[in-house]
A and B are shown apart, each in its own frame.
Chain A
Amino acid sequence: EDKVVQSPLSLVVHEGDTVTLNCSYEVTNFRSLLWYKQEKKAPTFLFMLTSSGIEKKSGRLSSILDKKELFSILNITATQTGDSAVYLCAVTGANSKLTFGKGITLSVRP
């Protein structure tokens, strides 16, 4: 059965800090790993990673995948209070369903 484990489950930082969110996975016939940000309702898409070692960046957020060690990290630099949210990691296998982790609750204090 496909499995995603995220760590830590929650963290509290101050504005301006840099945070690293971790995601490890087990999946049959890996196709992609996705990161989402969930504030109130709908998870919003951040990144999709399919190849090892290629960093994806969007502003202060970046992510990288290691297919050999089966993990990914999401980095957020110069955090802002608007970054407070639950960050979800998900993987897709052969059947294109998303298997999610439990999420990481990030709280950014002013």
Chain B
Amino acid sequence: ETGVTQSPTHLIKTRGQQVTLRCSSQSGHNTVSWYQQALGQGPQFIFQYYREEENGRGNFPPRFSGLQFPNYSSELNVNALELDDSALYLCASSSRFRGNYEQYFGPGTRLTVT
């Protein structure tokens, strides 16, 4: 196990609702990245947080937003949920001091939007 934790494990929401997913990074890591993995696809980069600020973003609309806290944990918020947002959401932690090359993943949150 990597020491990266995520909550909740599973979530079912209705289209139009809002959701918050949480991630605690591995000890000693100061950077958190979020990924969306649709069924049968590789993970897609959503954004990365370092020092409580967004540090790079993928091709996701503004209704995907995030936060990082002083203890390096992070939240992913998705507003106005759409059916296509159904996916496994993964967070990965890494150390900027080591170049963020090795990213270690949490167990993921399975989001289903109905």
Question: Which residues of chain B are within 8 angstroms of A43 by Cβ–Cβ distance?
Answer: 43, 90, 105
Q: A42 and B2: CB pair below 8 A?
A: yes
Q: A98 and B106: CB pair below 8 A?
A: no
Q: Which of B11-19, B74-82, B95-103 contacts A (4 or more CB under 8 A)?
A: B95-103
B86 part of interface (Cβ distance < 8 Å): no
Cα–Cα distance between A69 and B56 once the two chains are bound (Å): 28
Which chain B residue lies CB-closest to A94? B56
Query: Would you give the shortest CB distance from A84 to chain B, in whole angstroms?
Result: 16
Q: A99 and B45: CB pair below 8 A?
A: yes
B58 part of interface (Cβ distance < 8 Å): yes
Cα–Cα distance between A43 and B37 once the two chains are bound (Å): 11
Cα–Cα distance between A55 and B36 once the two chains are bound (Å): 31
In which size bucket is the chain B interface?
Answer: 20 to 34
In which size bucket is the chain A interface?
Answer: 20 to 34
Question: Which residues of chain B are within 8 angstroms of A101 by Cβ–Cβ distance?
Answer: 42
Question: Which residues of chain A are within 8 angstroms of B56 by Cβ–Cβ distance?
Answer: 95-97
Interface positions, chain A 1-54, Cβ under 8 Å from B, are 4, 31-32, 34, 36, 41-45, 48, 50
Cα–Cα distance between A21 and B101 once the two chains are bound (Å): 22
Cα–Cα distance between A13 and B97 once the two chains are bound (Å): 41
Given A42-B2, A45-B102, A92-B101, verify A97-B45 contact (CB < 8 Å).
yes
Interface positions, chain A 83-102, Cβ under 8 Å from B, are 88, 90, 92, 95-102
Question: Which residues of chain A are within 8 angstroms of B108 by Cβ–Cβ distance?
Answer: 41-42
Given A41-B88, A42-B2, A42-B90, verify A100-B44 contact (CB < 8 Å).
yes
A interface vs B, CB < 8 Å?
Answer: 4, 31-32, 34, 36, 41-45, 48, 50, 88, 90, 92, 95-103
